[in-house]
Structure 1
Amino acid sequence: MKSVSSSLTSTSNAIEHRCDVLVIGSGAAGLSLALKLAEHCQVIVLSKSDRNEGSTRYAQGGIAAVFDEQDSIDAHVKDTLNAGGGLCEEPAVRFTTERAKDALSWLIGYGVPFDTEKTESGEKRFHLTREGGHSHRRILHAADATGEALQITLNDAVSTHPNIHIFERYNAIDLIPSKTQKGHCVGAYVWNRTQEHVEVIRAPFIALATGGGSKVYQYTSNPDVSSGDGIAMAWRAGCRVANMEFNQFHPTCLFHPQARNFLITEALRGEGAFLCHADGTRFMKKFDERGDLAPRDVVARAIDYEMKRLGADCMYLDISHKPADFIVKHFPNIYRKCRSLGIDITREPIPVVPAAHYSCGGVMTDFNAKTDLENVYAIGEVAYTGLHGANRMASNSLLECIVFATAAAEHIISKLPIASCEEPILPWDESQVSDSDEEVIIQHNWHELRLFMWDYVGIVRTNKRLERAMRRIQLLEQEINEYYSHFRVSNNLLELRNLVTVAELIVRCAMARKESRGLHFNLDHPEQLANPVPTILAPEPNESQSVPGSLNATSSSPHL
């Protein structure tokens, strides 16, 4: 087993770090992979911000697995397929659900504090809740802050392991392709946000666990770090992506000027909350026989429709008919947050709106989580495994992280030990660029991108809206390319560069799908095709980069 090393190269004065496995991302997927590898090799985990600041931390509902004797894996499979709108790949669904209980048992072994209850005979068991799309109670949860409990537990575990090294406040810029082994990468260029310079991490295995790209939309439940970095990096390196048109809008985010990103978990509806107008009139039965427990795509469109029909700013979610003690016990964080904003959910309904929440598509992988590149893996929201189809079922996302982290770890371990590639890496050169004197351009482009994506590529789409979005994306790409060529990198520039790539992939996939299905609803193609297939995009030779650090895959990059 090697040790992590760092050195200063004499040719470029660049810092180079070495490890066995580079994990880009510090959420549930990345930290689980690191822990499963740590007894076998040296791991560097790259965290773009504070290691706690990712989508995992904000996940409220829970993790789905079959623990109830009345439930079954077949039922979990069936529910997932139904929620996925006919586009889930059944082998992927079965692969995940069959490994769900082992994944949860592994987390329980690390001490994740899932809620328990006593049976009538006095025995202790896990408290299982139910969410939209599920036919049984199968959601293990830690009150209404499961993600936070999971993140804290995993962080505590990696913090004490001598073979795991956390690099906080580092942006991954690009994967570095091998010049001697086709289809391999030798590491990544990374930007040290604290020291404000570019470094190299060399590793024979690389895992992308960067989450999704919901920050491409103006309104999102995701934290600021969700800028599609892994998807964009993998695309530039030559990986295929699939189903990028399926962006899940969580139907119930808190509508309040001081809490734009605060999620109201679907578990409220699982415990009896209902959606209604301001006057208390319920409306979900008009849209789906499952009513308030319909899948997220149905509920989000229903809320969007009612808001537009009535000219209303929001709809309402009401659980106040339940006992106050029950509400406070099961949803303490939501209760406290709403109370801090003057809303008492034990007495009044919660104002809610849909917001971009989850990317169902991503970088294509196999059941080992391996991408099109031989030594590059993708795990969690960044990946397309076939599990989610046209709409992700609630509480299958954290499950996917753990199941495929396990699969990736087993595959990597089977290939160890492996010598690190010693081929020369081109140094990062900033001699031809300068510090930006027009940061306002990034801000303007940033706001323009997120606004037109929300307006044109949101919950309801049309051909004309998609065409308008693509024209604006192409103009933005030209401006960002020019900016990237003249100025030193920064966090905002790197994120904007990745987001515009993700936006293009979303629109290209949306334009290719000539039907309405799941999360993709196009007024010009309202019907469903008889034999739907995933939307797969493959980079053309001039789209995938041959030299890292370049936005347009040319060797004339100012940084190299």
Structure 2
Amino acid sequence: MIETGRIVIAGAGLGALYAALELAPRPVLVISPESLGEGASSAWAQGGVAAAMASHDTPEAHAADTLQAGAGTVDPEVAAMVTRVAREHIIDLTELGTPFDRDADGNYVMSREAAHSAARVVRVKGDQAGDQIMQTLIAAVRAATSVQVLENTQAVRLETEGSTVTGIWITRADEPSAPVLVKAPGVLLAGGGSGGLFAHTTNPPRIRGQVIGFAARAGARIADPEFVQFHPTAFDIGEDPAPLATEALRGEGAVLINVDGERFMIPAHPDAELAPRDIVARAIFAETQAGRRPLLDTREALGAEVLTRFPTVAETCARAGIDPVVQPIPVAVAAHYHMGGVEADLHGRTNLANLWVCGEASSTGLHGANRLASNGLLEALVYARNAARDIAALNLAADTAKVLPVFSAGGQELAPVAVQSLREVMTAHAGVRRTAAGLKQALATIARLEDEQAEDENFLNMCATATLIAAAALKREESRGGHFRDDFPESDPAQARRTRITLEEALAIRAKAAKELT
């Protein structure tokens, strides 16, 4: 066991690093599963950060679009707060050195994405916002003497006394090891979402719901776990994770066609390619299921400009042998963003004392049932600061001694076959389209896999989050936002409310489902 006066931040993405800088000069310990900046979902974000920066736009309009996209379950107070402070975060990142795209007059270049009523997404080099913001934050963190980063280390469990978090258990991330307990005055969870629980995902390989899972196992209340956003346009080129064909391409006029050259989004929704993501995702999924391979066509809208304005897309195309100037890009639906997570109040607090959460591991009420494009990075920034300011109110000791864990042999290596089985059952039964029978099958399979790998704490965390997703999806007998039930295809106004669930409640639903299948 190690005792420290440092605040421990589990995760090393945008929210984690932004919070660490906000807490400076208070001592912080950042737990990073890989080398700093690698494997973080934030770095993979292509679109940008949504903020009402232009003269023609307002925070109120941004909040209204957020409420509209969220399909009836967005918390209006949260939407108003987040959109109101968005501008100051863009300015702060700019002052830190983030090279946001500017025009000749120095104004931020704004792009429009799906379900936004105005162009309000601030970008960097077209499609490199996440990476460039992360590089800026990494440089600042490296220079901050108050921040210690433990690389190649992962959090696997919370230590609690009653309903108070007193520490966190960590292991090596690059090889099996026995866990080490780090006792700390407070813990901030900032470790990403759960897209990797699905077989086709845009998320980095390590992002498989572990943080949500170990928080739930410690008694943290989870909100909205059934609401998973599937990005409509991931590259369908056989790579895992699937590279992202950014939403900004459709914002610039790219269209969706099938292998027969038909624009299938025109009859699907009045906004066609710029319809909310869940609608576009289901339309693309339907084309795939029908054998009419969906394609993203940038040829007329962008022509050769796609190569210079969207370099990440161009690089992926080149790797796959696709010339987007003359060929459409094969696309498929992929798990992209988890609206659900550990429930957080306006200050990032959870129901457990001394535990805060920000970023995709959280559920703040901003996203509702269907996140508005480019609100993800914004939420991470806002709640990282809110949580950091709340944590700063603690009477923290000025303990700058470094945490130097000594790991011994032990632990269990993650079983790749079990992980793949979990991912496949989640895609088959808890993915874009769901039914009661399929969700019950998913829950029964998760229970079996969990029993088979009962000694693997990492896998237990994944199974906890998978159970929460499937159990909440089974309980919600309607379709709303990112949650679609073939057996309940309409939205029910009586169910226009957020889900709040504990792991104990989800396990009871799982046990009942498994029993019904025997």
Q: TM-score range by the shorter chain?
A: over 0.9
Q: Which amino acid aligns with 1:88?
A: V
User: Which of residues 26, 39, 47 in structure 1 aligns to 2:32?
Assistant: 47
Structure 2 unaligned spans of 5+: 400-404, 509-518
Task: State the Cα distance separating 1:166 from its structure 2 match.
Answer: 0.4
Task: State the Cα distance separating 1:333 from its structure 2 match.
Answer: 1.7
Structure 1 unaligned spans of 5+: 1-13, 421-426, 485-492, 545-560
User: Which of residues 437, 445, 455 in structure 2 aligns to 1:464?
Assistant: 437
Task: State the Cα distance separating 1:60 from its structure 2 match.
Answer: 0.3
**Residue in 1 that maps onto 2:330:** 351
Task: State the Cα distance separating 1:203 from its structure 2 match.
Answer: 1.3
**Residue in 2 that maps onto 1:94:** 80
Aligned-residue CA RMSD (Å): 2.2
Alignment pair present for 1:134 and 2:116: yes
Cα deviation digits, residues 493-527 of structure 1 (max 9, x gap): 44322111111000110011010111111011112
Please identify, of 522-531 and 508-517, the stretch whose mean Cα deviation from structure 2 is larger: 522-531
User: Which of residues 487, 492, 508 in structure 2 aligns to 1:529?
Assistant: 492
CA distance in structure 2 between the partners assigned to 1:88 and 1:323 by the alignment: 35
* Secondary structure at the counterpart of residue 392 of structure 2: helix
The correspondence of residues 6-405 of structure 1 with structure 2, limited to 5 A, is 16=2, 18-39=4-25, 41-52=26-37, 53-118=39-104, 123-142=105-124, 143-178=126-161, 182-193=162-173, 196-258=177-239, 260-309=241-290, 311-312=291-292, 314-405=293-384
CA distance in structure 2 between the partners assigned to 1:391 and 1:403 by the alignment: 19
CA distance in structure 2 between the partners assigned to 1:258 and 1:498 by the alignment: 25
Task: Give the length in aligned residue pairs.
Answer: 499
The correspondence of residues 439-518 of structure 1 with structure 2, limited to 5 A, is 442-481=415-454, 484=455, 493-518=456-481
Identity, % of aligned pairs? 35
Q: Is the 8 A contact 2:70 2:367 kept in 1?
A: yes
* Secondary structure at the counterpart of residue 252 of structure 1: strand
Q: Which amino acid aligns with 1:49?
A: E
Q: Which amino acid aligns with 1:202?
A: K
Task: State the Cα distance separating 1:435 from its structure 2 match.
Answer: 7.1
Q: Is the 8 A contact 1:204 1:418 kept in 2?
A: no
Q: Which amino acid aligns with 1:275?
A: L
Q: Is the 8 A contact 1:223 1:261 kept in 2?
A: no
CA distance in structure 1 between the partners assigned to 2:199 and 2:174 by the alignment: 28
Task: State the Cα distance separating 1:219 from its structure 2 match.
Answer: 0.7
Q: Is the 8 A contact 1:275 1:282 kept in 2?
A: yes
* Secondary structure at the counterpart of residue 333 of structure 2: strand
CA distance in structure 1 between the partners assigned to 2:244 and 2:362 by the alignment: 23
**Residue in 1 that maps onto 2:511:** none
Q: Is the 8 A contact 1:206 1:375 kept in 2?
A: yes
Q: Which amino acid aligns with 1:358?
A: Y
CA 1:258–1:188 in structure 2 vs 1: closer, same or farther (change >3 Å)? closer
**Residue in 2 that maps onto 1:3:** none
Q: Which amino acid aligns with 1:239?
A: A
CA distance in structure 1 between the partners assigned to 2:140 and 2:33 by the alignment: 19
Cα deviation digits, residues 442-466 of structure 1 (max 9, x gap): 2222121111111111101111101
The correspondence of residues 539-554 of structure 1 with structure 2, limited to 5 A, is 539-540=503-504
CA distance in structure 1 between the partners assigned to 2:241 and 2:352 by the alignment: 38
Cα deviation digits, residues 203-256 of structure 1 (max 9, x gap): 101100010011111110001110212111111111110111111110001111
CA 1:112–1:429 in structure 2 vs 1: closer, same or farther (change >3 Å)? closer
Task: State the Cα distance separating 1:543 from its structure 2 match.
Answer: 7.7
Task: State the Cα distance separating 1:428 from its structure 2 match.
Answer: 12
Q: Is the 8 A contact 2:467 2:507 kept in 1?
A: no
Q: Is the 8 A contact 1:236 1:543 kept in 2?
A: no
Q: Is the 8 A contact 1:49 1:225 kept in 2?
A: no
Please identify, of 78-87 and 183-192, the stretch whose mean Cα deviation from structure 2 is larger: 183-192
Q: Is the 8 A contact 1:512 1:535 kept in 2?
A: no
Task: State the Cα distance separating 1:295 from its structure 2 match.
Answer: 1.0
Q: Which amino acid aligns with 2:378?
A: L
Task: State the Cα distance separating 1:329 from its structure 2 match.
Answer: 2.9
